Amino acid sequence: MRELVEFALKSVVAHPDQVSVSVVEGSASQLFEVDVAEDDRQRLLAHDRALLGSVQAVLSASSGRQKAVLDLRGPSSASDEE
């Protein structure tokens, strides 16, 4: 599943070489922590997180019994809240 997240994100960002995905596994869920370049971060968060939401939807559909959660790591700013 990690490869699926990496593939999806690298397909839509400007700096695919800076995409990093780490996975934290729990008994009932998997947390996918994503790091990207700052301008790619803004792109993923634009338009009410539409791109990020789409990747989350694909991830959820393919996760099976475990709940899959996508977390975009990095500094938060006021523009992320909008």
69 neighbors 57 (Cβ within 8 angstroms) = no
Per-residue model confidence (pLDDT) at position 79: 42
Separation of alpha carbons 74 and 33, rounded Å: 10
Domain 2-75: which CATH class? alpha beta
Q: Between 2-12 and 38-61, two packed helices, what is the crossing angle to 10 degrees?
A: 140
pLDDT, residue 40, reads 93
Percent of the chain exceeding pLDDT 70 equals 90
pLDDT along the chain (82 residues), means of 10: 93 95 94 94 88 91 90 65 44
